[in-house]
Amino acid sequence: MLKTVRYDGANLIILDQSRLPGEISFEICRTVEDVAEAIIRLKVRGAPLIGVTASYGLALGIIKYQGSVLDRDLYFQRIKNILASTRPTAVNLFWALQRMEDIYKQSGDLSTPELGRLLMSEAEQMFAEDIKINEAIGEYGQELLHKDSRVMTICNAGALATCGYGTALGVIRSAYQRGKIEQVWACETRPVLQGSRLTVWELLQDRIPVTLITDSMAGYTMKLGKVDAVITGADRIAANGDTANKIGTYTLAVLAHQHDIPFYVAAPLSTIDREIDNGDLIPIEERPAEEVRQIFGINATVPEVNVFNPAFDITPHDLIDAIITQQGIIKPPYLNRL
First to last CA, the chain: 32
Contacting residue, 86, 196, 245, 315, with ligand MRU by CB under 6 A = 245
Contacting residue, 130, 202, 228, 235, with ligand MRU by CB under 6 A = 235
Residue 315 binding ligand MRU, by CB under 6 A: no
Helix-strand-coil split of the chain, %, nearest 5: 45, 20, 40
Nearer to ligand MRU, 116 or 233 (CB): 233
CB of 89 to ligand MRU, least distance (A): 8
How many residues sit in the footprint of ligand MRU (CB under 6 A)? Answer: 18
Asked whether the bond before 332 is cis by omega within 30 degrees of 0, the reply is no
Nearer to ligand MRU, 63 or 169 (CB): 169
Rounded Cα–Cα distance for residues 26 and 11 (Å): 12
Residue 246 binding ligand MRU, by CB under 6 A: yes
Residue 46 binding ligand MRU, by CB under 6 A: yes
Binding range to ligand MRU, per CB under 6 A, among 142-150, 161-169, 218-226, 315-323: 161-169
Binding range to ligand MRU, per CB under 6 A, among 108-116, 123-131, 153-161, 208-216: 153-161
* 71 counts as catalytic: no
Rounded Cα–Cα distance for residues 334 and 298 (Å): 44
The answer to whether residues 236 and 89 touch, using CB atoms and an 8 Å cutoff, is yes
Residues near 64 by beta carbon (within 8 Å), at least 6 away in sequence: 30, 31, 116
The answer to whether residues 130 and 50 touch, using CB atoms and an 8 Å cutoff, is no
Task: Return phi, psi of residue 16, to 5°.
Answer: -80, 100
The answer to whether residues 46 and 162 touch, using CB atoms and an 8 Å cutoff, is yes
CB of 62 to ligand MRU, least distance (A): 26
Nearer to ligand MRU, 165 or 334 (CB): 165
Which DSSP string do the residues of 108-177 spell out, in sequence order? -S--HHHHHHHHHHHHHHHHHHHHHHHHHHHHHHHTT--TTEEEEE-S--SGGGSSSS-SHHHHHHHHHH
Rounded Cα–Cα distance for residues 244 and 241 (Å): 10
CA 279 to mean position of chain CA atoms = 17
Residue 155 binding ligand MRU, by CB under 6 A: yes
Which parts of the chain are beta strand (E)?
Answer: 5-7, 12-15, 26-29, 149-153, 181-187, 210-213, 229-232, 236-238, 243-246, 263-266, 272-273, 294-295, 298-299, 312-315, 322-325, 328-330
Contacting residue, 103, 161, 200, 319, with ligand MRU by CB under 6 A = 161
Q: Which of 235, 242, 313, 321 is catalytic?
A: 235
CB of 282 to ligand MRU, least distance (A): 12
Q: Is 310 helix (H, G, I), strand (E, B) or coil?
A: strand
Residue 90 binding ligand MRU, by CB under 6 A: yes
Nearer to ligand MRU, 11 or 92 (CB): 92
Residue 282 binding ligand MRU, by CB under 6 A: no
CB of 176 to ligand MRU, least distance (A): 17
Binding range to ligand MRU, per CB under 6 A, among 72-80, 114-122, 156-164, 221-229: 156-164
CB of 74 to ligand MRU, least distance (A): 30
Binding range to ligand MRU, per CB under 6 A, among 69-77, 97-105, 229-237, 252-260: 229-237
Residue 53 binding ligand MRU, by CB under 6 A: no
Residue 218 binding ligand MRU, by CB under 6 A: no
CB of 196 to ligand MRU, least distance (A): 13
Rounded Cα–Cα distance for residues 112 and 312 (Å): 39
Binding site for ligand MRU (CB under 6 A): 45-48, 90, 155, 157, 161-162, 167, 194, 232-235, 245-246, 311
Instruction: Return the active site residues.
Output: 235
